[in-house]
């Protein structure tokens, strides 16, 4: 498997800088788990950030910052809780079967694909809404029946779609596991799941704002959009 459709440079930069909101970040981090090429780009960006950090020239002196730090370090050393060995590296039990949903997505959903509780969307499609603390986005898993188009496909704002199993076609492009499609309002597209297998993908979209969508619905017939 080789990922062919990647994260755009500017979204990856927002992620590297830590300014990308939670909803989009779930898609970016899940793609990164499946794509060594984008992880290399991310490292290069972090390398550039490090080089820029080196170049910050500072005129003011350290003051008593170092002494304050040493005091904290001593307090920390005597604090039994802090002295406990870190469990930052999670061990994976040997023989763990490979998973379909990568982290961090799997933790958000609470299980891998076989434990999911899908909700019917109509016309054979299913979805699961993924709750986040980010009100600006809507995050969902979609299951599109083989050979059928992605349902409910109106486009307002940015949309990220990450294929997790099966594949879809959009025009003459094929999107398979790990591939990411980035779309915005000026892109008219009709993704269709490939024949033979249902397509499961992660879709992140801008949260529909009730007020704007009401206005859009009002003016849509007038503008014929």
9 counts as binding other proteins under rule CB under 8 A = yes
If binding is defined by CB under 8 A, does position 10 make contact with other proteins? yes
Contact region for other proteins (CB under 8 A) — 23-31, 146-154, 201-209, 211-219?
Answer: 23-31
In whole angstroms, what is the distance from residue 133 CA to residue 211 CA?
21
**Using the rule CB under 8 A, is 72 a contact of other proteins?**
yes
Residues in the chain: 225
Q: What CA–CA distances, in Å, run from 86 to 82, 104, 146, 215? A: 9, 20, 46, 52
Q: Does 42 bind Zn ion (CB under 5 A)?
A: no
Site for other proteins in 119-158 (CB under 8 A): 132-134
Site string for other proteins, 28-67 (x = CB under 8 A): -xx-xxxxx--xxx-xxxxxxxxxxxxxx-x-xxx--xx-
Which CB, 27 or 35, lies closer to Zn ion?
35
Nearer to Zn ion, 2 or 55 (CB): 2
E strand residue ranges, 70-215: 119-122, 125-129, 137-144, 159-165, 168-170, 173-175, 180-183, 192-193, 199-206
Tokens of 39: 């992880």
Residues that bind Zn ion (CB under 5 A): 3, 6, 35, 37-38, 159, 183
């Amino acid at each position: 498997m080789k990922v062919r459709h990647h994260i755009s440079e500017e979204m990856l930069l927002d992620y590297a800088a830590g300014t990308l909101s939670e909803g989009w970040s779930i898609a970016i981090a899940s793609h990164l788990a499946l794509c060594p090429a984008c992880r290399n780009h991310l490292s290069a960006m972090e390398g550039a950030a490090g080089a820029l950090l080196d170049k910050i020239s500072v005129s003011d002196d350290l003051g008593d910052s170092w002494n304050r730090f040493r005091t904290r370090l001593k307090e920390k050393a005597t604090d039994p809780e802090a002295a406990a060995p870190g469990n930052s590296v999670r061990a994976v039990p040997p023989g763990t079967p490979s998973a379909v949903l990568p982290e961090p997505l799997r933790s958000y959903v609470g299980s891998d694909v076989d434990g999911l509780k899908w909700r019917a969307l109509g016309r054979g499609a299913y979805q699961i809404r993924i709750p986040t603390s980010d009100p600006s986005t809507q995050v969902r898993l979609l299951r599109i029946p083989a050979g059928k188009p992605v349902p409910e496909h109106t486009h307002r704002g940015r949309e990220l779609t990450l294929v997790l199993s099966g594949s879809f076609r959009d025009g003459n492009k094929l999107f398979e596991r790990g591939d990411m499609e980035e779309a915005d309002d000026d892109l008219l597209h009709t993704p269709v799941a490939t024949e033979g297998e249902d397509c499961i993908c992660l879709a992140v979209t801008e949260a529909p704002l009730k007020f704007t969508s009401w206005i859009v619905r009002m003016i849509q017939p007038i503008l014929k959009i």
